[in-house]
């Protein structure tokens, strides 16, 4: 099965032997599991937490078990849920505002966020273990760009990157939610929740 959510495209396989790193145009492979995320990205690296891949695992299990929410183990328990045709993830975060940029720590990943169209972020990307985001508001939407540590080029989409940029905008503006758009053109919604923040995106999938 092939899934698309939040700018990422994944192929779901039964076991790791089915993975073919020669395949292009996908973010990575998800090995089917009822409890935890087993994710190998397009570089062949096993990644313990990816927000979009975690939501695919949760979505698969919710569909098969007729549930509205599901806990997936990915560097700790992560809540995935359905809201109409949207698949969401709820995460607790540690947010710190340093003026020119902010940091957003989640269980399993760290982001540095610049509320600027074109900051000089390369020194940070080269000398820290943070993923880098910057964003620009367009009306009620913010356009989010993401550079992930260890990747050769800009990401088409990143769940925790979109979430981090949305959190920074919400905190700086004292809003309750904001819509986000990624380089891929995919859109989503970041909101304050009871236990932290949520990101919701539409999901597409096809059999085979």
CA angle 189, 83, 77 (to 5 degrees): 85
pLDDT tens digits, 116-154: 876 676 666 676 789 999 999 998 899 999 998 888 788
The tokens describing 37, both together, are 């995320």
* Superfamily designation of domain 91-201: Diaminopimelate Epimerase; Chain A, domain 1 (3.10.310.10)
User: What is the CB neighbour count within 10 angstroms for residue 130?
Assistant: 22
* pTM tops 0.85, yes or no: yes
Rg value, the chain, Cα: 16
CA 37 to CA 90: how far, in whole Å? 16
CA 75 to CA 59: how far, in whole Å? 18
Cite the residue boundaries of each domain of the chain with CATH code 3.10.310.10.
2-87, 91-201
- Backbone torsion region of residue 173, taken as left when φ is above 0, otherwise alpha when ψ lies between -120 and 50, otherwise beta: alpha
pLDDT at position 124 is 66
CA 184 to CA 204: how far, in whole Å? 14
pLDDT tens digits, 6-18: 999 999 999 999 9
CATH class of 2-87: alpha beta
Contact status, residue 75 vs residue 48, Cβ threshold 8 Å: yes
The tokens describing 116, both together, are 């600027």
pLDDT at position 63 is 95
pLDDT tens digits, 52-69: 999 999 999 999 999 999
pLDDT at position 5 is 97
Which H or E element spans position 59?
helix 51-65
């Amino acid at each position: 099965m092939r899934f698309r959510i939040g700018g990422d495209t994944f192929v779901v396989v039964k076991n790791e032997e089915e993975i073919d790193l020669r395949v292009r145009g996908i973010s990575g492979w998800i090995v089917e599991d009822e409890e935890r995320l087993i994710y190998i990205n397009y570089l062949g690296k096993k990644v313990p937490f990816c927000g979009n891949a975690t939501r695919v695992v949760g979505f698969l299990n919710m569909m098969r078990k007729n549930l509205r929410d599901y806990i997936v183990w990915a560097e700790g328990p992560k809540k995935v849920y359905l809201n109409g045709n949207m698949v969401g993830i709820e995460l607790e975060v540690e947010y710190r505002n340093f003026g020119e940029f902010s940091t957003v720590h989640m269980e399993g990943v760290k982001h540095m966020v610049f509320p600027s169209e074109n900051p000089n972020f390369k020194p940070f990307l080269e000398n820290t273990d943070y993923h880098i985001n910057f964003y620009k508001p367009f009306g009620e939407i913010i356009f989010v760009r993401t550079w992930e540590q260890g990747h050769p080029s800009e990401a088409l989409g990143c769940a925790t990157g979109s979430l981090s940029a949305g959190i920074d905008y919400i905190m700086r503006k004292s809003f309750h939610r904001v819509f986000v758009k990624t380089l891929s053109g995919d859109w989503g919604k970041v909101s304050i929740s009871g236990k932290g923040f949520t990101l919701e995106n539409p999901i597409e999938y096809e059999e085979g």
